[in-house]
Amino acid sequence: MIGTIRGSRPTSRRAAYWVAGLSAAILLVALIWGEELRFLHSSANMAAVARTLRDGVELRDQSIGSLSFAFVRRESDQVYFYRGKTGGGDGYGYIWSPARRPSDVRHLMGPWYGFRDDAHQ
């Protein structure tokens, strides 16, 4: 009986590692998809803020829809929705730019672009 219990420990340990790894993978996917879903849910409210924000005005610590922002700032015909820094230290967020495509960004949909760099701080 003791030999059977000791013999099953490596299998239990492997199962625990497998469950932990699977849980970490699910959490990572949820975080990535969660950001995209929160953006989709929030983009209409963000666009309303972008349309009414005057040039040079900056809003600090704003929650819009399902997202929170360190700042929201209009610069000419573009509005920057700065989320914060990633674990790697890069700044990231969204740009609302209906007139033109900003440089060094990823197109998301319509007038929305995503950025991940320190240039927009």
Sorting pLDDT into bands at 50, 70 and 90, what band is 15? Answer: confident
Residue 19 lies in a domain: yes
Convert the pLDDT of each residue in 52-107 to its tens digit. 999 988 999 999 998 999 999 999 899 999 998 866 677 899 999 999 999 889 99
Residue 40 belongs to domain spanning: 2-116
Residue 121 lies in a domain: no
pTM of the model: 0.69
Instruction: Please give the C-alpha separations between residue 43 and each of 7, 15, 25, 26, 40, in angstroms, as whole numbers.
Output: 55, 41, 27, 25, 5
Q: What rounded mean pLDDT belongs to the chain? A: 83
65 phi-psi bin (left φ>0, alpha ψ -120 to 50, beta other): left
Q: How many domains does the chain have?
A: 1
Residues in the chain: 121
Residue 53 lies in a domain: yes
Residue 114: pLDDT over 90: yes
